[in-house]
Structure 1
């Protein structure tokens, strides 16, 4: 019912006129008119180059990681000693945490996974591990969670649930109801004005702009849907500036066209972080400063020495990472009637707000690598067209963390995706990641069996450790979605609303996945997985843990 109502309101709005004044509307909580915060703004270009080749991590990321690692090491050492005093803490691994795609199911299970690891919010046996994480990556539904978390200055999951999720998610994705404010129609009208202001400033707009603004009202604790939240602006958050949280990365997939329905398995993997946007892949092999994303650049230089800011809107980037509209004509994943109706409704708003054709399915960015010799695959294109981070069947954002220059040792991979009838993991996307890593000579990725082997050996029924006996790869702690709470833990990824009771159930199930149902042996086994690559001495109990969890390929 909510979906139908939302589609109706969007369609009616596309037929109404709101006048140009909304481009400078008085936003809630303000007393004066402001230039529309969604529109790009001219800015002075920095003196340092905007674009660099991907020969290393950036100086700013390196500085952040070095400072973060000091705090992460202290937290990990304390947790290890709590688990078993026999662990040596002289050499500690770099830990990464990933959140898969899967709509609200992914958002809520990711929230539960993290809550179990967060010492601020849990007394579980793995409480304190979140404080030991150095990198945190997400895509699609997982990106909904990570963006919401970061925009709230990395608040606890309990606070996010109380102040945002319990209010907005039951209302539905198409209902821009910010917490404790009931102004649905004015918010819809403001979204139309936002899109129009961006287009009037000369920037391309697509249905992802409308979708991203709706996500802002759903995910951010802000009366204006977080219209002024930017990816680069996360650097000003106190928990980020104090290096108290993992370095966040969202992923997306590149394609050659803005009207495609399919994305190739070897499509370019792009990543967004507070400091940079770009790709390690050979066809792009470059990064641009996130704050100046979509500035008009040629060969890394600003045209007329003018730069643009504001186009790294966090809702738009989150919408980019979760842009499943490229599959609007592919019935393999979702009911096409629902998705096509949603795409049509969002397109109608684009037509009204911007006067464009409105048939664009993908997020469009001015190409910062235009004319760049470092980026032969994309250097000829004036625009980049980006889709859902899982569009190439890699539903877990592992790619950024198997880049050798990041030196990650262990990945905790929360997997909420599956295409079986029960929507628990069946078609194992990390198998695709392994195949593509092999093709791109990314030797940090451990061996992963095919989906057929996963199913034949019933590997999806519990956690697996991959890479235990491969000294040069990362160790992957794979946490598949297991139904500890059977009634609600696998809400369909295309569900656009979830009840308050089910929100609580899915988050609780995510806690249980992270603790393996509060298994008393799990903390030791998890610690053994962390330290096998770096610890010179392991407690004797690790032998049984490796026997139970480490995947060993059969001859």
Structure 2
């Protein structure tokens, strides 16, 4: 059993990371017979054979879905069926949902809904519905991981089903359901500051009583396994994100159970994964050199140099060297290069965003996955400033990361000066300009970058916010739809077509097909042109939004109906400041 220290917010704490569907039928792990003739550990030099086979079958569905999307996009001088039929390979599209607590989860849910053709209304006016159905991969980190996990563990219901129909009272973040109340925090804060973290987390909703979190932890401890604050936090999240059912919020479920879901077996949705970072046991350093670990339905592991190993997720906790139990699946791995990892009996993991790469891009954009386009859905920070994708770009040049391929991006000041966070931006529009970034002949994908910003709601809510009323929750989701749909397509009637131009660009380049005038016009509007803006000293960008840029003037929120707006006071520059998340995480290390 893998007893991993996941600090505070990692999605995998939602579920009992152990043998698929714990044989005890509870949160307590249980032992099973090891499989024969099955290598649990492999080198991280490729994707697994299981993933390859799954992706091949998935492409049969994504090709059809992409044809439908492109046919509805009003692309000029373009035959979608002929294009896909003559493609050198199936286009590989990925969706990446950033971290950022409940803000990222709810805004990300809106962005997800805007890309899902099951969402009512998204196909009615040049919508992006169908992108989800056309995608091969789906990744989440932190709050984005909660979103991915909540959906994946339930076989991907639509956001409409959860938010509007909501038969299981999911995503209820109201005061009566919030994990910690103000009273409980104040009552238990002093013991927490003096190191009594366990007592602090006993104040969470659902801890006490029959079938409570406390009982679940006791069952795990009675089975001989350690518990941490992650167990408490994760099981509290489960009570908000997963249905109660007869199994007490899926307390015996495991991440590898996704592979048994009907939709996954039928390749009905993208290949889901969440990410974390390795933390070295004697260090509190958070930087880009920390190995990125991914959890997918088949494996846990990393393509990074230090780890370079993958382990079968279904048998996490099994260490077959002389049948000695070690709670580190990479213990004594002959593929890993970092001795502190392979010689430590415990694998320590932390929130994947602590190194400021809050978008799960490094593992997605690995050359082994050969992506053509990635939607980078950034809900990090209060208002994102591009830092997350900048970190991905910089990381690919480190010795640790020899497999990520990321297109050129500018610095933070350029992101804000050129309004790259206020409206969608495409990075990596021409493969011929990125030969220096290619690895083993694989060029970076086009990145379709969409950052959180206000349209109908002030969506820059605090990372530490635990409470949302039902109207606030729905407004956050609605605003996420606005961000992705360009305010219900009122800002650009060709937005759907422009996204289509980005999705087909890499295959056009492989075939030597010239862009249409329409796509050239789209790329002129949305592609970063390479311009940069550098300043000496601190840079204080404009803090309010117009429909397409930034301003220091007062602003208003917009309705989705053209010509209507609601005047409000200006956003304070203080919204860019606030409590640093690292300060909170340091309390738990």
TM exceeds 0.5? yes
Which residue of the other structure, out of 234, 238, 261, is the alignment partner of 1:212? 234
**Residue 150 (structure 2) aligns with:** 148
| Alpha-carbon shift at residue 375 of structure 1 (Å) | 1.1
| Alpha-carbon shift at residue 66 of structure 1 (Å) | 0.5
Q: Contact 1:467/1:474 (CA < 8 Å) preserved in 2?
A: yes
**Residue 287 (structure 1) aligns with:** 310
**Residue 351 (structure 1) aligns with:** none
Q: Secondary structure at the match of 1:213?
A: helix
Deviations 1:500-532 (A, max 9, x none): 001110111111111111221100110111111
User: Equivalents in 2 of 1:397, 1:46: separation in Å?
Assistant: 32
User: Equivalents in 2 of 1:427, 1:551: separation in Å?
Assistant: 13
Distance 1:135 1:188, change over 3 A: farther
**Residue 115 (structure 2) aligns with:** 117
**Residue 342 (structure 2) aligns with:** 379
Which residue of the other structure, out of 283, 300, 306, is the alignment partner of 1:277? 300
User: Equivalents in 1 of 2:61, 2:461: separation in Å?
Assistant: 36
Mapping for residues 475-494 of structure 1, pairs under 5 Å: 475-487=446-458, 489-494=459-464
Distance 1:187 1:221, change over 3 A: farther
| Alpha-carbon shift at residue 262 of structure 1 (Å) | 4.1
**Residue 58 (structure 1) aligns with:** 48
Q: Which moved more, 1:373-382 or 1:65-74?
A: 373-382
Q: Contact 2:384/2:421 (CA < 8 Å) preserved in 1?
A: yes
**Residue 71 (structure 1) aligns with:** 61
**Residue 95 (structure 2) aligns with:** 97
1:233 equivalenced with 2:242 (yes/no): no
User: Equivalents in 2 of 1:227, 1:53: separation in Å?
Assistant: 31
Q: Which has the higher helix share?
A: 1
| Alpha-carbon shift at residue 386 of structure 1 (Å) | 0.6
Q: Secondary structure at the match of 2:314?
A: helix
**Residue 313 (structure 1) aligns with:** none
1:534 equivalenced with 2:507 (yes/no): yes
User: Equivalents in 1 of 2:281, 2:210: separation in Å?
Assistant: 29
User: Equivalents in 1 of 2:515, 2:220: separation in Å?
Assistant: 57
1:545 equivalenced with 2:522 (yes/no): yes
User: Equivalents in 1 of 2:272, 2:207: separation in Å?
Assistant: 33
Q: Contact 1:173/1:215 (CA < 8 Å) preserved in 2?
A: no
Q: Contact 1:166/1:503 (CA < 8 Å) preserved in 2?
A: no
User: Equivalents in 2 of 1:136, 1:122: separation in Å?
Assistant: 21
**Residue 458 (structure 1) aligns with:** 419
Mapping for residues 91-490 of structure 1, pairs under 5 Å: 91=87, 92-124=90-122, 125-161=127-163, 162-164=166-168, 168-170=172-174, 171-174=176-179, 184=206, 186=208, 190-223=212-245, 224-257=248-281, 261-295=284-318, 297=319, 301-304=320-323, 366-377=327-338, 378-418=341-381, 423-426=382-385, 428-439=387-398, 440-442=401-403, 444-471=405-432, 472-487=443-458, 489-490=459-460
Deviations 1:20-43 (A, max 9, x none): xxxxxxxxxxxxxx9461111111
| Alpha-carbon shift at residue 401 of structure 1 (Å) | 1.4
TM-score normalised to structure 1 length = 0.77
| Alpha-carbon shift at residue 173 of structure 1 (Å) | 3.9
Q: Contact 1:446/1:470 (CA < 8 Å) preserved in 2?
A: no
Q: Contact 1:52/1:288 (CA < 8 Å) preserved in 2?
A: yes
User: Equivalents in 2 of 1:515, 1:545: separation in Å?
Assistant: 15
| Alpha-carbon shift at residue 431 of structure 1 (Å) | 0.5
User: Equivalents in 1 of 2:210, 2:447: separation in Å?
Assistant: 43
| Alpha-carbon shift at residue 236 of structure 1 (Å) | 1.3
Q: Secondary structure at the match of 1:518?
A: helix
| Alpha-carbon shift at residue 494 of structure 1 (Å) | 1.2
Q: Contact 2:316/2:329 (CA < 8 Å) preserved in 1?
A: yes
Q: Contact 2:457/2:475 (CA < 8 Å) preserved in 1?
A: no
User: Equivalents in 2 of 1:167, 1:551: separation in Å?
Assistant: 36
User: Equivalents in 2 of 1:199, 1:97: separation in Å?
Assistant: 37
**Residue 38 (structure 1) aligns with:** 27
**Residue 480 (structure 2) aligns with:** 510
Q: Secondary structure at the match of 2:91?
A: coil
Q: Secondary structure at the match of 1:41?
A: coil
Q: Secondary structure at the match of 1:477?
A: strand
Query: Gaps spanning 5+ residues in structure 1: where?
Result: 1-33, 177-182, 308-364
Q: Secondary structure at the match of 1:515?
A: helix
Q: Contact 1:36/1:197 (CA < 8 Å) preserved in 2?
A: no
User: Equivalents in 1 of 2:233, 2:285: separation in Å?
Assistant: 20
Q: Contact 1:115/1:122 (CA < 8 Å) preserved in 2?
A: no
User: Equivalents in 2 of 1:380, 1:144: separation in Å?
Assistant: 31
Distance 1:442 1:118, change over 3 A: same
| Alpha-carbon shift at residue 288 of structure 1 (Å) | 0.5
Distance 1:485 1:521, change over 3 A: same
**Residue 522 (structure 1) aligns with:** 495
User: Equivalents in 2 of 1:225, 1:438: separation in Å?
Assistant: 42
How many aligned residue pairs are there?
448
User: Equivalents in 2 of 1:443, 1:248: separation in Å?
Assistant: 18
TM-score normalised to structure 2 length = 0.72
User: Equivalents in 2 of 1:286, 1:228: separation in Å?
Assistant: 27
